Structure 1
């Protein structure tokens, strides 16, 4: 079963690679592809540096110093994860664009000489950095908290200043975690479609969608998808390279963590202000703007405030998300159970393959799913089945569900497998020695013990599916729209106020896993504090 799941998950990626190799000469590549590649590299580099400075800097600030509000801000700084970049993007545009309040105020005070355009690559870099910096922040903070103070204290005792000790001791020890955080950020940048569209930035992921929806040149879309896949593999390889060559270890346990210096007076309030600015720009101000638009829309036309289509779109989002989450969790249970009852390294390796889909951009997964169903069409027609799969993809949401399975099986499996890892092998062996079969062990022993992991997996996949945009845009059947697609369409046409309510629904839903993350990290920190 595990091998079958691995094959199903890997098939879209394999299809993209094979079609790209076999049919590359038939493709008519779009103009400006070289520019898309350069733009993608610049965007990834810019956002990587931005998140490293903001996320890494804030992690060092809340770990190495104590200042007013620090104990609360250390958790609140994760909240921008609940604000998808494509929502933060249109809020940013409405605020700083030529017709927005900021430039209008500047023109009134300073004249037209201060006009500037935010629909540009730098604008996209700023927005995506504000949305994604918590990934680096979380990884960096975890690495700093886990460091033993002995090495740092040794450097200080040898005459190194606080700044030199930071660069020569703290940063090298945190390098693997920083690399992991940056890899996640760059994968998110590579996957993004809507945000860069708002800012007029053409990346290779945008190229996949434009070619497929514009000219329906399947082979060209596959070629660009293969190029996107190359970017993804390069990011993963770079992260592995940084981890592989870096051999920075520490002796001793966690101890009491890095010594925190208390900041008083202006320095303390400056540190508080720095944290508040990042939190406000990445979450608080956008939420206030969205609530303000929603209230204004309700006052302007109370009867039309809630669009009659809203219920349908929300139901579509919840239905496909719930089905996808259920499927991912069931498969995760089967795979984790198979590994625990004696699957061996081969089964474990096959299970690991299923997690690769999360690193593949949504546009590539979408094209890969289309390829897989096209191959299935030809196979069925060769067997004498008329019309092959017919409207199985274009006439239903089956393609979306398959793509969701490929894309989101990884977080479900990791959450479920983490719960399985806490079960003592002796419990499994005892149940089997008493005559329980594999299904009996799963239902009577494993399942009751892994319910917390199952619940977390259901929540994570459901929220990820609700926010997903590129897959739905590529694979949705005629007339099928989700809340995420609706927000994108309204924002693309500058209907900011109408997009506010569905955007708030997405943000509220995305806050749930962030809250779960809050509780997990706080519980871990409290447990570690008791053990010290």
Structure 2
């Protein structure tokens, strides 16, 4: 009897999972694949999204090597991304190996700083560096370091800033790889007379190579698609990159969709190459051995050099955290940058200006919170669907779903925004009420696309800990599919649901790229308001708005987490 029921259950499960798989595929196609394909189609068939049917001149793709601005944007992006990848991966990898090998004071502060840099929006970090390194910035006026502006506002200086902002991606990749180690291999090599350096070079380094490659791919993708740094430094130093030139092509007169399409094509091409490298690294990331036993890696005491290492770590944190975040905080309470640390220069007037007359900040905060809340809730539904398919189903195309979810993480917001303009600005959609360009709904769709990879990564890890047998047992009792999800799976991953929703909410609020490309007329959001004030050189207002707006978002996240987790404990 049980065997007969088991035979009937599998086809039923397969039908439900196939429908869920096709639904998840359709949603990911609408949110990610079709807008991305639209950017490529615009190059091949220019004007097709505006009613013009003509074959594009593919020689336009080669114009990037002829037109000065296009060529300079490509060169700057490649130089910045490659250099940051090299130095960021090296820095992150070394810090991860030091942190995993030795135990020293302030080591946990390094982990905290890494997550702060990872979560903080890049344009806010860049603004802090600009206020520190400008001609009238903190370095020159307060510390007398007149050489800092010349150091930072050049290609090598921007590489330094990006390296100190992007190294956490490589740090986390290598740190995760060093949590476990196969000690028998090192011990065998030492028994054969190998020195410590040779053991590291011949055994440990090859085992860590996939983690370094994966971290390098992440650093490259995040750097080459970064919109925050060029947007922040544009008022002081001209350094066109592919993302910023794509933005200016759409939001300057005349609008240059041909330029936006070509530059987006090359940006997607470069990111695709980086993703192929990452997939290659992940494929080579397993090393299995007969009788090989992995043990948890425990940092060892560093001995007499502990205080030296702790002091170096504090100095490093003062640079990577103190300059970008401290710069925003100081500027928000300084009357002027040049007056220094004096009582007469301390003021709350910048915060007062947030409440006096200029109410666009509060309107922008309200709009950003509304858009992010809708994106977090709707994105959570899509993310749970995708995670279920990846974890439990036998859907034949689930590998493609995994790729789609990763693509949305890798594709820069400016490229996704351009694709959304092409797709949702069609006249034939107007009778259906789906001509979304110029409406707040398009911001929600783009935010959902950005939230899906974050939610999916969190939920896949949580669902992997829930045995499939629990769902199968409920199916044997005749429980419908949706009830199995609602009554069994979701309660077991309640904590991950909350974490995923809050992470998606927080990341959506400060998404400058998508908001800058897609915000409707007279619909200013929080990141656009802050960036506009910064472009107008109103540093005090921009810094106060950053601290105030960021504080509100953090407070909301902490309160929601406290209330919902407490409610969850009471119900259990």
TM-score, normalised with respect to structure 1:
0.85
Partners of 1:48 and 1:343 in 2: CA distance: 37
Q: Quick check: 1:327 aligned with 2:367? A: no
Instruction: Give the conservation status (yes or no) of the 8 Å contact 1:79–1:279.
Output: no
Partners of 1:391 and 1:514 in 2: CA distance: 33
3-state SS, counterpart of residue 392 of structure 1: coil
The residue number in structure 2 matching 1:189 is 223
Q: Quick check: 1:392 aligned with 2:463? A: no
Gaps of 5+ in 2: 1-22, 47-55, 336-346, 559-572
Partners of 2:556 and 2:83 in 1: CA distance: 27
Instruction: Give the conservation status (yes or no) of the 8 Å contact 2:103–2:299.
Output: no
Q: Which is worse superposed, 497-506 or 152-161?
A: 152-161
Judged with a 3 Å threshold, the aligned counterparts in structure 2 of structure 1 residues 275 and 506 are, in CA distance, closer, same or farther, namely farther
Instruction: Give the conservation status (yes or no) of the 8 Å contact 2:103–2:301.
Output: yes
Q: Which is worse superposed, 340-349 or 16-25?
A: 340-349
For residue 25 of structure 1, the aligned residue among 57, 64, 68 is: 57
For residue 316 of structure 1, the aligned residue among 353, 362, 367 is: 367
- Quote the offset at 1:483 in angstroms: 1.7
- Quote the offset at 1:321 in angstroms: 0.7
Give 1:421-440 correspondences, 5 Å limit. 421-440=464-483
Instruction: Give the conservation status (yes or no) of the 8 Å contact 2:127–2:328.
Output: no
Partners of 1:100 and 1:351 in 2: CA distance: 45
The residue number in structure 2 matching 1:526 is none
The residue number in structure 1 matching 2:491 is 448
Partners of 1:362 and 1:147 in 2: CA distance: 38
3-state SS, counterpart of residue 397 of structure 2: helix
- Quote the offset at 1:488 in angstroms: 1.6
The residue number in structure 2 matching 1:530 is none
Q: Deviations for 1:326-379, whole angstroms, at most 9, x for unmatched residues?
A: 1110112234445677553335643553342111111110111111124x43x4
Give 1:44-123 correspondences, 5 Å limit. 44-104=81-141, 116=150, 118-123=152-157
Judged with a 3 Å threshold, the aligned counterparts in structure 2 of structure 1 residues 115 and 415 are, in CA distance, closer, same or farther, namely closer
Instruction: Give the conservation status (yes or no) of the 8 Å contact 2:429–2:435.
Output: no
Judged with a 3 Å threshold, the aligned counterparts in structure 2 of structure 1 residues 149 and 275 are, in CA distance, closer, same or farther, namely farther
Judged with a 3 Å threshold, the aligned counterparts in structure 2 of structure 1 residues 259 and 279 are, in CA distance, closer, same or farther, namely closer
Please give the root-mean-square deviation of Cα atoms over the aligned residues, in Å. 3.1
Partners of 2:229 and 2:293 in 1: CA distance: 43
Judged with a 3 Å threshold, the aligned counterparts in structure 2 of structure 1 residues 184 and 348 are, in CA distance, closer, same or farther, namely closer
Partners of 1:217 and 1:330 in 2: CA distance: 37
- Quote the offset at 1:49 in angstroms: 2.0
Give 1:496-511 correspondences, 5 Å limit. 496-505=539-548, 508=551
Q: Quick check: 1:166 aligned with 2:197? A: no
The residue number in structure 1 matching 2:422 is 371
Instruction: Give the conservation status (yes or no) of the 8 Å contact 1:484–1:506.
Output: no
Q: Which is worse superposed, 330-339 or 502-511?
A: 502-511
For residue 15 of structure 1, the aligned residue among 28, 31, 38 is: 38
Partners of 1:148 and 1:425 in 2: CA distance: 30
Instruction: Give the conservation status (yes or no) of the 8 Å contact 1:130–1:278.
Output: no
Judged with a 3 Å threshold, the aligned counterparts in structure 2 of structure 1 residues 259 and 354 are, in CA distance, closer, same or farther, namely closer
For residue 238 of structure 1, the aligned residue among 269, 272, 277 is: 277
The residue number in structure 1 matching 2:50 is none
Gaps of 5+ in 1: 516-532
Instruction: Give the conservation status (yes or no) of the 8 Å contact 1:12–1:368.
Output: yes
Q: Which is worse superposed, 171-180 or 242-251?
A: 242-251
- Quote the offset at 1:103 in angstroms: 2.8
Partners of 1:503 and 1:309 in 2: CA distance: 13
Partners of 2:483 and 2:147 in 1: CA distance: 75
Instruction: Give the conservation status (yes or no) of the 8 Å contact 2:455–2:501.
Output: yes
Instruction: Give the conservation status (yes or no) of the 8 Å contact 1:232–1:360.
Output: yes
3-state SS, counterpart of residue 179 of structure 2: helix
3-state SS, counterpart of residue 348 of structure 2: helix
Instruction: Give the conservation status (yes or no) of the 8 Å contact 2:131–2:327.
Output: no
Instruction: Give the conservation status (yes or no) of the 8 Å contact 2:230–2:239.
Output: yes
Judged with a 3 Å threshold, the aligned counterparts in structure 2 of structure 1 residues 511 and 177 are, in CA distance, closer, same or farther, namely farther
The residue number in structure 2 matching 1:282 is 320
For residue 344 of structure 1, the aligned residue among 385, 392, 395 is: 395
Instruction: Give the conservation status (yes or no) of the 8 Å contact 1:337–1:442.
Output: no
The residue number in structure 2 matching 1:523 is none
Partners of 2:392 and 2:93 in 1: CA distance: 41
Give the paired residue count: 502
Instruction: Give the conservation status (yes or no) of the 8 Å contact 1:68–1:268.
Output: yes
Q: Quick check: 1:41 aligned with 2:78? A: yes
3-state SS, counterpart of residue 221 of structure 2: helix
Instruction: Give the conservation status (yes or no) of the 8 Å contact 1:287–1:504.
Output: no
Partners of 2:197 and 2:552 in 1: CA distance: 41
Instruction: Give the conservation status (yes or no) of the 8 Å contact 1:324–1:404.
Output: yes
Partners of 1:164 and 1:493 in 2: CA distance: 56
- Quote the offset at 1:155 in angstroms: 3.6
Q: Which is worse superposed, 431-440 or 156-165?
A: 156-165
For residue 270 of structure 1, the aligned residue among 308, 316, 331 is: 308
Instruction: Give the conservation status (yes or no) of the 8 Å contact 1:139–1:178.
Output: yes
3-state SS, counterpart of residue 78 of structure 1: helix
Partners of 2:155 and 2:331 in 1: CA distance: 27
3-state SS, counterpart of residue 57 of structure 2: helix
Give 1:486-497 correspondences, 5 Å limit. 486-497=529-540
The residue number in structure 1 matching 2:566 is none
Judged with a 3 Å threshold, the aligned counterparts in structure 2 of structure 1 residues 59 and 335 are, in CA distance, closer, same or farther, namely closer
3-state SS, counterpart of residue 353 of structure 1: helix
Q: Quick check: 1:149 aligned with 2:183? A: yes
Partners of 1:426 and 1:114 in 2: CA distance: 61
Partners of 1:156 and 1:496 in 2: CA distance: 58
The residue number in structure 1 matching 2:26 is 4
Judged with a 3 Å threshold, the aligned counterparts in structure 2 of structure 1 residues 138 and 341 are, in CA distance, closer, same or farther, namely closer
Instruction: Give the conservation status (yes or no) of the 8 Å contact 1:329–1:416.
Output: no
Judged with a 3 Å threshold, the aligned counterparts in structure 2 of structure 1 residues 79 and 276 are, in CA distance, closer, same or farther, namely farther
The residue number in structure 1 matching 2:512 is 469
